[in-house]
Structure 1
Amino acid sequence: MAKSSVDDAELRRACEAAIEDPKEKVITSIRVAKSHGLWGKSVKLGRHMAKPRVLALTINSQGQRKSAFLRALKYTTGGVLEPAKVYKLRHLSKVEVITNDPSGCTFTLGFDNLRSQSVAPPQWTMRNIDDRNRLLVSILNMSKDLLGHLPKVVGIDVVELSLWAKANAPPVSTQKSPQGGAPVASAVTEPEMKVAVEKELVSQAEEEDIEALLGTYVTGNGEAEEFSERLKRELQALEAANVHAILESEPMIEQVLQGLDTAMSCVEDMDEWLGIFNVKLRHMREDIESIETRNNSLEMQSVNNKALIEELDKLVERLRVPSEYAACLTGGSFDEARMIQNVEACEWLTGALRGLEVPYLDPAYANMRAIKEKRAELEKLKSTFVRRASEFLRNYFASLVDFMISDKSYFSQRGQLKRPDHADLRYKCRTYARLLQHLKSLDKNCLGSLRKAYCSSLNLLLRREAREFANELRASTKASRNPTVWLEGSSGSGQNVNAADTSTVSEAYAKMLTIFIPLLVDESSFFAHFMCFEVPTLVPPGGIVNGNKTGYDDDGNDDDLGIMDIDENDSKPGKNSVELAALNESLQDLLDGIQEDFYAVVDWAYKIDPLRCISMHGITERYLSGQKADAAGFVRLLLGDLESRISVQFSRFVDEACHQIERNERNVRQMGVLSYIPRFATLATRMEQYIQGQSRDLVDQAYTKFVSIMFATLEKIAQTDSKYADMFLLENYAAFQNSLYDLANVVPTLAKFYHQASEAYEQACTRHINTIILVQFERLFQFFKRIEDLMFTVAPEEIPFQLGLSKMDLRKVLKTSLSGVDKSIAAMYKKLQKNLTSEELLPSLWDKCKKEFLDKYENFVQLVAKIYPTETMPSVAEMRDLLASM
């Protein structure tokens, strides 16, 4: 028989290495095959195929406590053992040897703590019976010694297993250590273990009892029939003995029966007495329940009566109208000293009306007659108070404004500009701010008439302040009026038309905006909060708008703070489009008409200096970009209208200037530089000085219109006299470039027109120079032109044989054109100088003329050398030297 794997010390060491726990000792390790198939049935390949495994029985010692484990280890691809599964031995409930396996080497282990009991446990197959018995004996011994119980064993006899263990118990041998040290135990046992695998499953005493029991049935009879007869005789003897014993115990049975009869009679008497007591107790219980019911009813009635009285007291108190509030609501005064009482009365009335509504009142009371009568009484009080308060406030607003209008010290006077001051007006209005809040909560519809009254009264004051301020502002501003005929052709080009300083005009306009735009924004904000519009705050109190503080009172008091704190509970986050529309409609009534005084300042500034429209446009854009709040809609509209009016006025100036440019067409004979060319440079220089903010587009549009008209007019005038057209154009385009050279370097729009003028100047120069050259050397270059035209259809060697192009003809042309070439060149110079009014252009024009003539002559020399190779004529170098000496 092959050596058992149990004796394989190398396998045990491999298992200990795989476990990697020094406290856990391997007791037994055996190679097995793991499978899930059933013997005698076909199985699928893959999962149910037998897989090599190693089962190791281990003990983990932690102090006095020992734990037993059954570990299953598998082989990796490199043949090294690694843990696969571990089972606690204390959960082992069943060991079953598979009977379908003829070899008897296959068994299963059942554990009571497996999660899925529906899955069949794996089957372990040993190499031989000895391996199987040795593993099972080790498991059973360890279970008995460490756990105190044995698992259920199925398919194998425990006695047979015990006998095998005794017969195959390995001797405990010792051996020298490799180093010659002390002897060590064999591979099967460990010195520190309390359990040995060779221990018997059945003790010696139990074995002797089994043998004695079996000996009583071993009688030496060889036949089973005799043994059966013997057993029958013994059975009959036992039955007879039992019957005799029963008969002997009859007197004792009779005594027991008599005792039972006596007990039965006592029980019956007791049952009768219990029935009587039960009836009496039932009657008593019914009486007690009746008494408790009557008592509970009386108690509930008492509690309900008490609660009803308390509720009626509260209701009566809610329905009572305090006399001091009734007097204040129906006939009290609205003086400032009485406002605290009026506000308290309003608060009480608001609370009383709210208290009679269903959410705050029990719905059961809503239809009571007393509630309806009291609600009608409170509604009458409300309507009376709202009517009285509204009438008072309308008269109060009118009286405040009338008082301020009648006092001239509030407004600007001759020699003194007066900044509008509404601090006292707002302080007096703020006294009634909380009253307006309560009026809104009592009757929202009453605010419409109050808002109209306030707007109507304050509009008179604002318009009077703006009119007086604008009049005095214009009267106190000293500025000389600039002529509007900026590009008039009749004026001399050297006239200085921008000598007058008109900066005070735009400063006056800026002062008008600085004073009144923040004032109007503040008035809009104050009105929105004072008149209880549910819109977001415009600007923080005392904030900065376009670099200007929004407050206007000199002592630094902030009149809007009281408005912000009137009733914090009424403030709503977000925007209310309906409220915002109503606010803008009211602001239209509040501020309408004040724009006329702003228009008057704009028109006045335009008459003094139209170019100041540029500065005013930039100032207006800067203020307009700062107005972002929705409630300042009218202020944004006002600034937008001012911007449009300024743009219209400036467009009017541009149109008049363009008309002045077009008037130059009427002069049929124009020579030299037109007057509007240098005047436009002066105008553009001043326009650039006036640009502020985002006014660049306005000026660029004016530049585009001016230059387009200028160039168009220039071309029309040039067409009136074709003889001098090119000279006229090049002088004017050159003058345009010279006058705008500095500005074109910094203004992109003017740079574009500068390049356009430069191209037109070059084209005019080329045409004028070619005309002069052709006048002096007409025969020479006509001959060249004829040859050049024939080159497309005739071979070069055949051209000398053409009519008029022979060598003799060439010699005549050269003699005629070049015999006095120095005089002809001098004539060209005089011709170029004759009609030129701008002497500074002559050197550059003469250089262009010499270069153009030399290029033409060089082309002619090359053509003659190609077609008339034997003919001689002055070389290009000689002609260049001649031109250089001229």
Structure 2
Amino acid sequence: MGVLQPSSDDKELMKLVENHFISSDNAVLLAFRVAKSQASSWPGHRRQRLTTKMRILTLTAKRSSTTQKFKVKLQVLKQLANNELEMAKAYKLKHLSRVEAVPSDNSGCTFVLAFDNLKSQTVAPPQWTMRSLDDRNRLVTCILKLCKENLGRLPKIVGMDVVEMALWAQANAKALPIDSPVQPALQCIGEGGKTSAVTVEREMVSKAEEDDMEALLGTYVLGIDEAEAFSERLKRELTALEAANVHAILESEPLVEEVLQQLDAATVSVEDMDEWLGIFNVKLTHMREDIESIESRNNRLEMQAQNNAALVEELNKLLGRLRVPPEYTSLLTTGAFEEACMPQNVEACEWLAQSLRGLEPPFLDPVYVNMRAVKDKRAELEKLKAAFVRRASDFLKTYFSKLVDFMISDKSYFSQKGQLKRPDHADLRFKCRSYARLLQHLKNLDKNSLGPLRKAYCSSINLLLRREAREFANELRASTKVTRSSGAWSLEGSGGSSLSSGTDTSNVSDAYAKMLRIFIPLLVDESSFFASFMCFEVLPLVPPGPGADNGEDDDDEDDDDISPLDENAADLKPAQQNPEELEALNQSLQDLLTGIEEDFYAVVDWAYKIDPLRCISMMGVTERYLSSHKADAASFVRRLLADLQSRISMQFNRFVEEANLQIEKHDRSIKQIGVLSYIQRFAYLAQRMESLIQGNSREVVDNAYKKLVETMFAVLERIALVDPKYQDVLLLENYAAFQNCMFDLANVVPTLGHYYQHASEAYEQACTRYVNTVINYQFERLFQFFQRVENLLYTISPEEVPYQINFSKAEMRKTVNTSLKGVEKALRDMYRRMQKQLTSEELLPSLWEKLKEDFLDKYESLEGLILKCYPTESITPSSDDMKELFTSI
């Protein structure tokens, strides 16, 4: 079959279609003129007819910008009268599910394309009729190729000969417009326009598929359809082949005999060769044994020589380790410990430590450990070590004691009369620092030797610290000039005059803060120096950071660089905290600083005696120091601050208890009128306490407020019960006074705000009871009568009330006339009664206003009740007239 060439009509159609799609991104692959026939029905009849329309079937492709895959569409165009094209329908090739030939068309040019995304599957799909079978094959083959290459699947083919189409595709491969699948066509699309040139690079049918197809077609051409004839043919061919093989074998017999003769001769030669090889093998075996014997003797001699040389070298090294230099022996046994001799002593210690370590595995081979010479030398070194450690320990104990005794004997080191002196241990630490390396080497030589040294150092320094704290505290109290407070809480006198004398006791808390500011950093520095000086393997007691957190100065001379040494005499700083060492350090610090807390307690007790309220500011100062030393590893300083906090809190609680006791013992034998004295005193006390609050002392002060105010209210209620007649007057006046005194503080102190609210509620209740008492004193009979009427309405109707005993109209008129006779004078009497009973004139207007409101409410209710139960009666004066009467008073 020849190559199919496109006709001129096809070229014109292609150009027309390309011009139609020139403004879009679609590349035109194929274009055919087809006849579209759609099955339809006549209206009102069952007979069907086919409507045929001419259309242009176009296959286009477009690359997706996101997935970089091709979107292939089958687009149906119709040609208008002006030769322009219009889009009629577009189908996506990915939804194509079936290609089915129409059986009624014998030419095979009519087929149906079924898509699985059509909205209505009940309507028969359109039938497409191509102009020729070649056009049909071109379209269908191209569609199958696109589905296979681009979608990875093929639609179902029904009624078409697939083999015939494959043969057609093989014969017309160059005429196919698509390959791999539309890449060459799309590459030719420019920015300004597009072209339909398509280059074929690869055949539609692969080589393997072509070979299988040719084999199948060859089998088909052979016409193997009669099995018996084919079997007979194979049998005849087999018989002919066997006869030819037998004939060939008979013709080659002379050659075979000649080969056998040559093989026999070769066998004889091989046997002779094997015998000679056996003889040579025996000789070689004996020779190999002799060589191995010689090599073995030579190797043993060489090894012995090497071992002897290595042994001599090792023995020389061992002798070098076992030699003790005489200068070191002299230093370790009789050398002096003056400061000038310390470098030589440190050098001797380093040599002794290295020598002892060099006699132990892994520095010394375990083979030599049990040698007599090594044992003797180790014993000699141990004696040297014991002698040196004993001598050094005795010297340091004596040195520490003499150094402290010298400082204690010199009064210029301590505070004197008229002069506060800050303790300065710079010279002491400088002198101790000269022996820091010696202590570190003592620890490396004998760790247990540091225990007695630490105790001796702690005992000596403790005497110095206690003396310094005692002298400083005594002079601090003597130099602080303050006037003793007349009492932070006193019931003497009237009002708050005894408390507001203007005495300034701030020097008391300043003195306590100065004590902490001087000695707490000193104790921390002493703890840190002691930990480093005495070689405790702990992290630094004071974290790195600014040294003047709480006002203490940063001393450059106290920046001790004393680090523990490792076995090689190198600085060794622990990477993490050692719990055992830290516990031992805290026990030693207890011995170092014990007893010093008594002088702090003395300052606290002295400050309490001058002004108990200064405990509040001292608690704040102590809390600030305590929070700044929470990260320190030395627990004694934290424990000291915690004990001070506890003692100050105990003293403050003692003051609160005394004040509380004075409130409880308030004199009840005398008739109490007006505002009780402790109300104003508590207001002054609260103002002072608020002015002294610092840090976390808020909770302590709030607890004091709670205890005092609850006792005040309880005593007030108890005193009010003594005279029931004036009970409510006393309560409302005192609760009002408490509110007036606490108004400003209650807005900023939640605890006082709570009690302010409680006082406000109690005041309202007392006012209500007092107002009712005053009203009932004048109009009790009137309101009681109508109260009984109101109770009667729970059981009977209002119309039946006038017919009840004691509730007739005459009884009602009698009660009203009697009670309201001279009502204006009764109202004036109520006002004068309140004016007489109240000692606080500022409360009278508000109470009278409340009485007016309550009375008018009751009177209006009474008027309504009369209108309800006694409709024919009226009350004089009316509620409006009563309001006018109140206004005139």
Q: TM over 0.5: same fold? A: yes
Cα distance in 1 between the residues matched to 2:728 and 2:526? 65
Residue of structure 1 in register with 2:504 after alignment = 501
Residue of structure 1 in register with 2:358 after alignment = 355
User: Alpha-carbon deviation of 1:799?
Assistant: 2.2
Structure 2 gaps, min length 5? 1-105, 109-132, 151-159, 175-201, 223-227
Shift of the 84–444 alpha-carbon distance from structure 1 to 2, 3 Å rule, reads farther
- Deviations 1:151-205 (CA, angstroms, capped at 9, x unpaired): xxxx999xx9xxxxxxxxxxxxxxxxxxxxxxxxxxxxxxxxxxxxxxxxxxxxx
Cα distance in 2 between the residues matched to 1:431 and 1:796? 111
Residue 650 of structure 2 aligns with an amino acid whose one-letter code is: V
Shift of the 3–345 alpha-carbon distance from structure 1 to 2, 3 Å rule, reads farther
**1:397 matches 2:400:** yes
**1:609 matches 2:611:** yes
Cα distance in 1 between the residues matched to 2:447 and 2:161? 96
- Kept in 1: contact 2:738–2:759 (CA 8 A): yes
Residue of structure 2 in register with 1:874 after alignment = 877
User: Alpha-carbon deviation of 1:546?
Assistant: 3.4
Residue of structure 2 in register with 1:488 after alignment = 491
**1:461 matches 2:470:** no
Residue of structure 2 in register with 1:141 after alignment = none
TM normalised by structure 1 equals 0.72
**1:385 matches 2:364:** no
Residue of structure 1 in register with 2:528 after alignment = 525
Output aligned runs, 1:568-647, within 5 Å.
Answer: 570-629=572-631, 631-647=633-649
User: Alpha-carbon deviation of 1:785?
Assistant: 2.5
Equivalent position to 1:307, from 307, 310, 332: 310
Residue of structure 2 in register with 1:660 after alignment = 662
Residue of structure 2 in register with 1:408 after alignment = 411
- Deviations 1:108-155 (CA, angstroms, capped at 9, x unpaired): xxxxxxxxxxxxxxxxxx6xx568569xxxxxxxxxxxxxxxxxxxx9
Shift of the 375–458 alpha-carbon distance from structure 1 to 2, 3 Å rule, reads same
Shift of the 88–325 alpha-carbon distance from structure 1 to 2, 3 Å rule, reads farther
User: Alpha-carbon deviation of 1:413?
Assistant: 1.2
- Deviations 1:67-120 (CA, angstroms, capped at 9, x unpaired): xxxxxxxxxxxxxxxx9999876999xx8xxxxxxxxx997xxxxxxxxxxxxx
Output aligned runs, 1:40-439, within 5 Å.
Answer: 129=217, 288-439=291-442
Shift of the 368–827 alpha-carbon distance from structure 1 to 2, 3 Å rule, reads same
- Kept in 2: contact 1:730–1:765 (CA 8 A): yes
- Deviations 1:43-65 (CA, angstroms, capped at 9, x unpaired): xxxxxxxxx9999889999xxxx
- Kept in 1: contact 2:485–2:611 (CA 8 A): yes
Secondary structure in structure 2 of the residue aligned to 1:617: helix
- Kept in 2: contact 1:426–1:559 (CA 8 A): no
Residue 412 of structure 1 aligns with an amino acid whose one-letter code is: S
Shift of the 811–635 alpha-carbon distance from structure 1 to 2, 3 Å rule, reads same
TM normalised by structure 2 equals 0.72
User: Alpha-carbon deviation of 1:564?
Assistant: 7.0
Residue 303 of structure 2 aligns with an amino acid whose one-letter code is: M
Residue of structure 2 in register with 1:738 after alignment = 740
- Kept in 1: contact 2:488–2:499 (CA 8 A): no
- Deviations 1:755-774 (CA, angstroms, capped at 9, x unpaired): 11111111111111111111
Shift of the 89–768 alpha-carbon distance from structure 1 to 2, 3 Å rule, reads closer
Shift of the 318–804 alpha-carbon distance from structure 1 to 2, 3 Å rule, reads same
- Deviations 1:531-556 (CA, angstroms, capped at 9, x unpaired): 111221122467336333563x3xx2
Equivalent position to 1:703, from 702, 705, 715: 705
Cα distance in 1 between the residues matched to 2:362 and 2:758? 81
**1:693 matches 2:681:** no
Cα distance in 2 between the residues matched to 1:352 and 1:329? 13
Cα distance in 2 between the residues matched to 1:431 and 1:558? 14
Residue 704 of structure 1 aligns with an amino acid whose one-letter code is: K
Residue of structure 1 in register with 2:674 after alignment = 672
- Deviations 1:715-755 (CA, angstroms, capped at 9, x unpaired): 11111111111111111111111111111111111111111
- Deviations 1:599-623 (CA, angstroms, capped at 9, x unpaired): 0110011011100000001111111
- Kept in 1: contact 2:532–2:562 (CA 8 A): no
Query: CA RMSD for the aligned pairs?
Result: 4.3
- Kept in 2: contact 1:458–1:590 (CA 8 A): yes
Cα distance in 2 between the residues matched to 1:353 and 1:58? 101
Shift of the 278–812 alpha-carbon distance from structure 1 to 2, 3 Å rule, reads closer
Secondary structure in structure 2 of the residue aligned to 1:507: helix
Cα distance in 1 between the residues matched to 2:665 and 2:171? 122
- Kept in 1: contact 2:535–2:564 (CA 8 A): no
Equivalent position to 2:480, from 477, 486, 508: 477
Cα distance in 1 between the residues matched to 2:324 and 2:168? 99
- Deviations 1:306-345 (CA, angstroms, capped at 9, x unpaired): 1110010011111111111111111111111111111111
Residue 773 of structure 2 aligns with an amino acid whose one-letter code is: T
Secondary structure in structure 1 of the residue aligned to 2:423: coil
Shift of the 84–600 alpha-carbon distance from structure 1 to 2, 3 Å rule, reads farther
- Deviations 1:330-380 (CA, angstroms, capped at 9, x unpaired): 111111111111111111111111111122221111111111111111111
Secondary structure in structure 2 of the residue aligned to 1:740: helix
- Kept in 1: contact 2:564–2:571 (CA 8 A): no
Secondary structure in structure 1 of the residue aligned to 2:861: helix
Shift of the 874–542 alpha-carbon distance from structure 1 to 2, 3 Å rule, reads closer
User: Alpha-carbon deviation of 1:841?
Assistant: 0.9
User: Alpha-carbon deviation of 1:568?
Assistant: 5.5
Shift of the 585–54 alpha-carbon distance from structure 1 to 2, 3 Å rule, reads farther
Residue of structure 2 in register with 1:804 after alignment = 806
- Deviations 1:196-236 (CA, angstroms, capped at 9, x unpaired): xxxxxxxxxxxxxxxxxx9xx9xxxxxxxxxx9xx9xx989
Shift of the 494–475 alpha-carbon distance from structure 1 to 2, 3 Å rule, reads closer
**Aligned-residue identity in percent:** 60
Residue of structure 2 in register with 1:561 after alignment = 561
Residue of structure 2 in register with 1:24 after alignment = none
- Deviations 1:772-801 (CA, angstroms, capped at 9, x unpaired): 111112322232223223222333223223
Equivalent position to 2:764, from 754, 762, 777: 762
Residue of structure 1 in register with 2:793 after alignment = 791
User: Alpha-carbon deviation of 1:299?
Assistant: 2.0
Cα distance in 2 between the residues matched to 1:608 and 1:664? 25
Residue 420 of structure 1 aligns with an amino acid whose one-letter code is: P
User: Alpha-carbon deviation of 1:822?
Assistant: 0.9
Shift of the 344–622 alpha-carbon distance from structure 1 to 2, 3 Å rule, reads same
Residue of structure 2 in register with 1:43 after alignment = none
Residue of structure 2 in register with 1:718 after alignment = 720
Cα distance in 1 between the residues matched to 2:681 and 2:270? 149
Residue 559 of structure 2 aligns with an amino acid whose one-letter code is: D
- Kept in 2: contact 1:541–1:558 (CA 8 A): no
- Kept in 1: contact 2:487–2:499 (CA 8 A): no
Cα distance in 1 between the residues matched to 2:207 and 2:526? 90
Residue of structure 1 in register with 2:851 after alignment = 849
Shift of the 695–54 alpha-carbon distance from structure 1 to 2, 3 Å rule, reads farther
Residue of structure 1 in register with 2:47 after alignment = none
- Kept in 2: contact 1:463–1:593 (CA 8 A): yes
Structure 1 gaps, min length 5? 22-30, 35-51, 62-82, 96-104, 108-125, 135-154, 161-213, 218-227
Shift of the 312–825 alpha-carbon distance from structure 1 to 2, 3 Å rule, reads same
Cα distance in 2 between the residues matched to 1:282 and 1:432? 79
User: Alpha-carbon deviation of 1:647?
Assistant: 0.6
Shift of the 745–133 alpha-carbon distance from structure 1 to 2, 3 Å rule, reads farther
Residue of structure 1 in register with 2:127 after alignment = none
User: Alpha-carbon deviation of 1:853?
Assistant: 1.5
Secondary structure in structure 1 of the residue aligned to 2:324: coil
Cα distance in 2 between the residues matched to 1:804 and 1:19? 114
Which has the higher mean CA deviation after the structures are superposed, 732-741 or 12-21? 12-21
